[in-house]
C-alpha cells in the first residue's frame, strides 16, 4: 500500500482498526523473511543473484528453454551438461542459527558451500536454512556441516517447503 507521507498514519490506523475483528497484527521484515524461508522462496541478493542460474537455484521450471533470451545458449548448455552446485534446504540437528554467509565445510574443514538464508523457524522450532552445495551433497537426506560462528554444526538436506500445508 502506497500513500503520501502525510496520510500514512491515518492509513495505518484505518487498516489496523478495520482488521482488528479479524485478528490483524503488524509484521515486520524479519517476520516476512522467516515466512518466505519456511516456504523455500528465494530472496534476490541472498539466494539468487546475477551469478546464479535458475537451474542451480531449482528454478528451471520457470525458464522457457524453447525461446531465446539473454544468455539462453549458456543456460541451455548448462541444462544439457548439468549443474555443479545446487541450492538446497537444510535443517540443523544441533543448537545454533545458520545465517547468510556461514560456510558449509567438508569432513576436514574445507569450505565447499555457503549459506544463503537461515533462521530459527518458529513454526518448526528448529534452525533451518538454504545453501549452495556441490551437486554430490545435494540429495535429500545428505549430511551437511555448517560453520556457525566458528563452531561446526551437523545438518541434513531436507525437502522444500520446510512447512507443509501452510
44: domain CATH number?
A: 2.40.30.110
Domain assignment of residue 140, given as a range = 39-51+85-158
- Across all residues in the chain, what is the average pLDDT? 96
Contact 141, 157 (CB under 8 A): yes
Look at residue 131 and tell me if it is in a domain: yes
Look at residue 114 and tell me if it is in a domain: yes
Number of domains the chain contains: 1
pTM: 0.86
Half-sphere exposure of 134 (CA within 13 A, CB side): 11
CA end-to-end distance (rounded Å), the chain:
24
Look at residue 121 and tell me if it is in a domain: yes
Tell me the pLDDT tens digit for each residue of 114-138. 999 999 999 999 999 999 999 999 9
Using CA atoms, how far apart are residues 146 and 117, in angstroms rounded to an integer?
12
3-state secondary structure (DSSP) of residue 87:
strand
Using CA atoms, how far apart are residues 79 and 75, in angstroms rounded to an integer?
6
Look at residue 93 and tell me if it is in a domain: yes
Residue 166's pLDDT band (cuts 50, 70, 90): low
Tell me the pLDDT tens digit for each residue of 37-71. 999 999 999 999 999 999 999 999 999 999 999 99
Amino acid at each position: 500500500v502506497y500513500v503520501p507521507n502525510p496520510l500514512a498514519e491515518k492509513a495505518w490506523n484505518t487498516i489496523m482498526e478495520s482488521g482488528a475483528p479479524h485478528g490483524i497484527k503488524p509484521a515486520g521484515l524479519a517476520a516476512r523473511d522467516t515466512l518466505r524461508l519456511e516456504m523455500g522462496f528465494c530472496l534476490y541478493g541472498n539466494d539468487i543473484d546475477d551469478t546464479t542460474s535458475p537451474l542451480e537455484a531449482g528454478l528451471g521450471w520457470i525458464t522457457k528453454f524453447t525461446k531465446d533470451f539473454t544468455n539462453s545458449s549458456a543456460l541451455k548448455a548448462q541444462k544439457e551438461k548439468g549443474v555443479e552446485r545446487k541450492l538446497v534446504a537444510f535443517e540443523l540437528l544441533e543448537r545454533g542459527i545458520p545465517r547468510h554467509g556461514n560456510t558449509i565445510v567438508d569432513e576436514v574443514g574445507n569450505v565447499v558451500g555457503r549459506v544463503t538464508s537461515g533462521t530459527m523457524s518458529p513454526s518448526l522450532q528448529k534452525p533451518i536454512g538454504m545453501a549452495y552445495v556441490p551437486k554430490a551433497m545435494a540429495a535429500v537426506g545428505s549430511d551437511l556441516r555448517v560453520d556457525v560462528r566458528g563452531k561446526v554444526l551437523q545438518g541434513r538436506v531436507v525437502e522444500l517447503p520446510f512447512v507443509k500445508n501452510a
